[in-house]
Amino acid sequence: MCASLVRDIMKKNVISIDSSMTVNDAAKMMDDASIGAIVVLENGIAVGIITERDLVRRIIAKEKPLSTNVKVAMSSPLIVINPDDTVWDLAQLMKTRRIHRVPAVKDNRLVGMVTTSDIVRLCSIGSDDEMSKITEQILLRMKPKE
């Protein structure tokens, strides 16, 4: 897994929404595309991400109208990764920041999206022996330091 790069596993077709749109627009786009998050753009630059969880916690639970601007509900500042970084770097970022989706940005341009599912898919490729080795390495790195 360490040798793989983010660009090798990221999805290149990323759904995005302009920051001037509403959470209702975002929810419809997520439903239409069967995805759980959309990157929010302002003047073509990725500034945030709006997830299903954001909609629940910041809109529905607070009984705000669906006409609320996405900027109110989005998570920001946006945590991103370079597509040339390793998948191990990505996994560490996800672990330390406790996030499940990371947009890939290069030269201030949104070029992809990576999720925890993409990492799992990468780990599931190969023989059972390879899977055992990967699992063993993950468990060794998860052990608390004494």
Amino acid 93: pLDDT: 94
What is the band of 42 on the pLDDT scale with cuts at 50, 70, 90? Answer: very high
User: Of 140, 118, 141, nearest to 14 (Cα)?
Assistant: 118
Domains of the chain: 6-142 (3.10.580.10)
How much is the pTM?
0.79
As given in the structure block, the two tokens for residue 135 are 């699992």
Burial class (CB in 10 A: 0-12, 13-18, 19+), 26: buried
The mean per-residue pLDDT over the stretch 40-48 comes to 94
Q: Are 103 and 113 in contact (CB under 8 A)?
A: yes
User: pLDDT per residue over 68-123, tens digit each?
Assistant: 999 999 999 999 999 999 998 999 999 999 999 999 999 989 999 999 888 888 87
Amino acid 86: pLDDT: 92
Which 3 state secondary structure label does DSSP give 58? Answer: helix
